[in-house]
């Protein structure tokens, strides 16, 4: 098995015993993380288009062209990997689109929450359809079409219109790495979609336990854990609100960030800072978790069975937050209102709610009964087997 991704993740991939091919450099990865627009609804999308979709399109195609062994190769790729989608068209490589988050699955009946785009299940389907069309034709395609269609023309392919309206998903198989109770399948989702569940990987198998973390957890009542995302470099306001809310509640707190300069030089008693910690080692021993709404953190919080408080900023975070609130396991505040006092009030409601506690336990149990890895592997194997059967002469 070969993993094609940014050089930043090379050491992790190799420690897992997998082959690695670099797609983009560590310097490029850090450059994008340093841009505060990454955490804004519009600016974040533009950065994803530039760096994740367009810049990686041609290299991805060329790498797959080199790695492809006809009849033996199947590609699992995110929808943003346009190079993989084009390789499927030109080289016939079996393709499984892997969607980590339901925000990538369009529906006019139960649309995902996409920040500034006013989609809603309470609105007529025709209205949501119009909003998608406006977003595609006025915003998304003008960013994607010139470069993507120029590359397609080089390969003798026709132009694509409305890339995100369906083309970017594999026409063969789509794998949703989330459970149906988190995002119920909609009747206008592609029929080739299979949901298998959250993978819940958090590097705990390669990251040694930290004595400092263990000492803090054992040193008092369960803390509230605060993390704005492992890649967040602009979280000073988030942590200021975290400290304020913890003091108002009289609660211990763990502040998780790889970047210590986002926090005050001196922290109050009972509040500790830690760098990277696998969430599965911490969340089950927390009173609650407060985070940005990334799908990985969301899934780990559900698996731990603890209340969650979300401050969504960009990307899929709005949709993940809305789904957690509907499951009655979370509260949410936008960044402009994410301050100590309202955060403390919301956390107090979560921590004192029997309904929230019951729903947290219920959904944690659902995850314990699932085996998403085996189910996902079966989807990939069927994609390859189906292509092999079609290749056998009659």
DSSP 30-71: HHHHT-GGGGSHHHHHHHIIIIIIIHHHHHHHHHHHHH--TT
Q: What is the pLDDT of residue 327?
A: 98
Cα–Cα distance for residue pair 246/286, rounded to 1 Å: 13
Say yes or no to pLDDT of 21 above 80: yes
Number of Cβ atoms within 10 Å of the Cβ of 11: 11
Please report which residue ranges of 106-174 form alpha helices under DSSP H.
125-135, 141-154
Of 21-25, 206-210, 375-379, the range with the highest mean pLDDT is 21-25
Regarding whether 338 and 379 lie in a shared domain, the answer is no
Regarding whether 247 and 158 lie in a shared domain, the answer is no
Regarding whether 132 and 109 lie in a shared domain, the answer is yes
pLDDT, tens digit, for every residue of 158-204? Answer: 999 999 999 999 999 999 999 999 999 999 999 999 999 999 988 88
pLDDT, tens digit, for every residue of 115-138? Answer: 888 999 999 999 999 999 999 999
Say yes or no to pLDDT of 394 above 50: no
Regarding whether 364 and 380 lie in a shared domain, the answer is no
Lowest mean pLDDT among 65-74, 160-169, 197-206, 251-260: 197-206
| Domains contained in the chain, number | 2
| Closest of 222, 235, 205 to residue 289, by C-alpha | 222
Domain of residue 135, CATH code: 3.40.50.2000
- Give the model's confidence band at 392: pLDDT under 50 very low, under 70 low, under 90 confident, else very high: very low
Say yes or no to pLDDT of 94 above 70: yes
CB 171 within 8 A of CB 79: no
- % of the chain residues with pLDDT over 90: 86
pLDDT, tens digit, for every residue of 339-376? Answer: 999 999 999 999 999 999 999 999 999 999 888 988 99
Regarding whether 150 and 35 lie in a shared domain, the answer is yes
Regarding whether 13 and 128 lie in a shared domain, the answer is yes
Regarding whether 273 and 156 lie in a shared domain, the answer is no
Q: What is the pLDDT of residue 230?
A: 81
Regarding whether 289 and 185 lie in a shared domain, the answer is no
pLDDT, tens digit, for every residue of 295-345? Answer: 999 999 999 999 999 999 999 999 999 999 999 999 999 999 999 999 999
Regarding whether 305 and 253 lie in a shared domain, the answer is yes
Say yes or no to pLDDT of 386 above 80: no
> What are the residues whose beta carbons fall under 8 Å from the beta carbon of 267, sequence distance 6 or more?
243, 255, 273
Q: What is the mean pLDDT of residues 91-109?
A: 96
Regarding whether 376 and 357 lie in a shared domain, the answer is no
Please report which residue ranges of 98-235 form alpha helices under DSSP H.
125-135, 141-154, 211-218
Regarding whether 9 and 155 lie in a shared domain, the answer is yes
Q: What is the pLDDT of residue 389?
A: 53
Cα–Cα distance for residue pair 163/193, rounded to 1 Å: 18
> Mean pLDDT, the chain, as a whole number?
94
In a domain, 86, yes or no: yes
In a domain, 202, yes or no: no
How far is CA 236 from each of CA 31, 41, 153, 255, rounded to the nearest angstrom?
Answer: 19, 19, 46, 11
Cα–Cα distance for residue pair 29/384, rounded to 1 Å: 32
Q: What is the pLDDT of residue 388?
A: 55
Regarding whether 362 and 375 lie in a shared domain, the answer is no
Q: What is the pLDDT of residue 116?
A: 84
In a domain, 203, yes or no: no
What range does the domain containing 226 cover?
A: 211-368
């Amino acid at each position: 098995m070969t993993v094609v991704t940014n050089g930043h993740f090379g050491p992790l991939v190799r420690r897992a015993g997998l082959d690695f091919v670099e797609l983009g450099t560590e310097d490029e990865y850090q450059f994008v993380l340093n841009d505060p627009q990454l955490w804004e609804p519009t600016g974040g999308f533009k950065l994803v288009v530039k760096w994740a979709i367009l810049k990686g399109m041609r290299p991805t195609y060329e790498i797959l062209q080199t790695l492809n062994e006809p009849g033996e190769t199947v590609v699992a790729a995110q929808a943003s990997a346009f190079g993989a989608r084009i390789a499927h068209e030109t080289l016939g490589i079996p393709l499984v689109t892997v969607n980590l988050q339901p925000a990538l699955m369009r529906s006019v009946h139960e649309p995902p929450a996409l920040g500034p785009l006013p989609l809603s299940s309470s609105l007529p389907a025709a209205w949501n359809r119009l909003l998608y069309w406006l977003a595609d034709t006025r915003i998304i395609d003008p960013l994607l079409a010139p470069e993507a269609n120029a590359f397609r023309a080089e390969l003798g392919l026709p132009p694509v219109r409305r890339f995100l309206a369906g083309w970017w998903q594999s026409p063969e198989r789509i794998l949703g790495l989330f459970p149906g109770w988190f995002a119920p399948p909609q009747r206008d989702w592609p029929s080739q979609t299979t949901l298998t569940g959250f993978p819940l990987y958090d590097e705990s198998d390669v990251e040694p336990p930290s004595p400092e973390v263990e000492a803090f957890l054992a040193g008092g009542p369960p803390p509230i854990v605060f993390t704005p995302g492992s890649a967040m470099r602009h979280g000073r306001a988030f942590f200021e609100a975290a400290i304020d809310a913890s003091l108002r509640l009289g609660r211990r707190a763990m502040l998780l960030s790889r970047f210590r300069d986002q926090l005050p030089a001196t922290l109050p008693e009972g509040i500790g800072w830690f760098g990277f910690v696998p969430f599965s080692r911490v969340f089950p021993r927390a009173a609650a978790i407060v985070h940005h709404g990334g799908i990985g953190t969301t899934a780990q919080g559900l698996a731990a069975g603890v209340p969650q408080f979300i401050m969504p900023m960009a990307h899929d975070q709005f949709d993940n937050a809305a789904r957690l609130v509907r499951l009655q396991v979370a509260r949410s505040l936008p960044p402009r209102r994410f301050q100590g006092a309202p955060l403390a009030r919301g956390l107090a409601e979560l921590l004192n709610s029997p309904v929230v506690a019951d729903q947290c336990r219920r959904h944690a149990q659902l995850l314990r009964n699932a085996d998403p890895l085996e189910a996902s592997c079966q989807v990939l194997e069927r994609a390859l087997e189906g292509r092999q059967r079609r290749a056998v002469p009659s």
